[in-house]
Structure 1
Amino acid sequence: MKTIDCRNMACPLPVVTVKRSLEEAPGEALQVLLDNGAPRENVTRYAANRGLVVTETALEEGVALVITGEATASRDGGGTAIGPTVMLIASDRMGDGPEELGRLLMKNFIITLLELDRLPDRVLFVNSGVLLTTDGSDVVEVLETLVNRGVEVFSCGICLDYFNRRNKLLAGAVTNMFTIAESLLTAGSVVRV
């Protein structure tokens, strides 16, 4: 049985590390060392949603989870929608708390998209969300990787002009409000971040 130590890892790295390890050796038992709290809960939920069995043992520092069984498709919702999945990102940060935390959450959210089995078909950036697609953003390379995987990435032209960033666009392409509205109205599902 392989053991991986995910203690002291920032979110979402414990789940991402477990996901990769399970994919490398499907059906083999995996022991994961984790901090208590959110890391333990997130990894347990991830495994359970895939039909895996999780056995927990308390440690002096943290917890050891042993994950066994054959993974199935995620039970987190995987329903099939008619039409594309469109993601609308309307800010360069996530949530209403402190700005620094909001920016960190948004960065981690976008990075985590690369680890998902199902990607959105199109990601639309509006308002200050366009700052994520331009020079100086921490997620430009991630967005370029998404584009290379077939995800359409578009930034609102009016928004780029407002922030004087049109000539600094590095990921995806410029679009207009007609395309944004049409994309949202014809989508099978819309995810607003």
Structure 2
Amino acid sequence: MNTIDCRNMACPAPVITVKRTLEELGEVRVLLDDGAPRENVTRFAVNRGFNVSEEQCDAAWALSITHGVSAAVKPTASVESAETVFLITSDRLGDGPDELGRLLMKNFIHTLLETGNLPSRLLFMNSGVHLTTEGSAVLEALGKLAGMGVEILSCGLCLDFFGKKDKLLSGGTTNMLTTVETTLSNVRVIRL
């Protein structure tokens, strides 16, 4: 199995490199930094039906990505069964006074818990990542949503920009490749 070194690469380069290598070779061993790169590559591979095993090597991680039972291309869902994804790009909802916008966003996320039709994923970008980090008023609600099967993902680059990567308390990190693929796939994306 070939080994590629994706340590010290900026997001989303590790995922793109692994994607291209898997398309060419079908399996790979990849060296990664801990944190977002490891999470993003693992999620990418698992979501495509690959098996992932990992081992810690000094300050890095080695992931072995091999063919899984369903590593073939997955069929796309029909329009009728399309998933709903919320792309949350701010910690406020709507235009107007910031205080009102924050209150509306808090109420929106809490109200999601009361609906019978949950989104499959919440993607947080830009100042939206403040909602998934220490000090957020919606962490408990996000935890409940995650417990109900909603995937909670925050942009790793955004967390870095705001100095909050080590303050992420709800969900995992994601990258622009996953965000673009999600918005281009057969899902209904609602931007807040």
- Please state which band the TM-score falls in when normalised by the shorter chain: 0.5 to 0.7
Match of residue 164 from structure 2: 165
Cα gap change, 1:148 to 1:124, in 2 (>3 Å):
same
CA distance in 2, matches of 1:111, 1:120: 13
Unaligned runs of 5+ in 2: 1-78
The question of 1:127 aligning with 2:161 is answered no
1:35-184 pair list within 5 angstroms: 81-184=80-183
Identity %: 58
Deviation of 1:82 (Å): 3.7
Q: What is the DSSP-based 3-state SS (H/G/I as helix, E as strand, rest coil) of the residue aligned with 1:86? A: strand
Q: What is the aligned partner in structure 2 of residue 49 from structure 1?
A: none
CA contact (8 A) 1:110 1:142 kept: yes
Contact 1:140–1:170 under 8 Å retained in 2: yes
Q: Which has the higher contact order (CA 8 A, sep 6+)?
A: 2
Larger Rg: 1
Structure-1 separation of matches of 2:136 and 2:186: 27
Q: Which residue matches 2:30?
A: none
Q: CA RMSD in A?
A: 1.1
With 181-190 and 128-137 compared, the bigger mean Cα shift is at: 181-190
How far is the alpha carbon of 1:83 from its aligned partner? Answer: 3.0
Supply the AA of the counterpart residue of 2:160: D
Normalising by structure 2, we get a TM-score of 0.58
The count of aligned residue pairs is 114
Q: TM-score, normalised to structure 1's length? A: 0.57
Which residue matches 1:76? none
Structure 1 partner of 2:19: none
Contact 1:89/1:129 (8 A) holds in 2: yes
Q: Which consecutive segments of 4 or more residues in structure 1 shift more than 4 A?
A: none
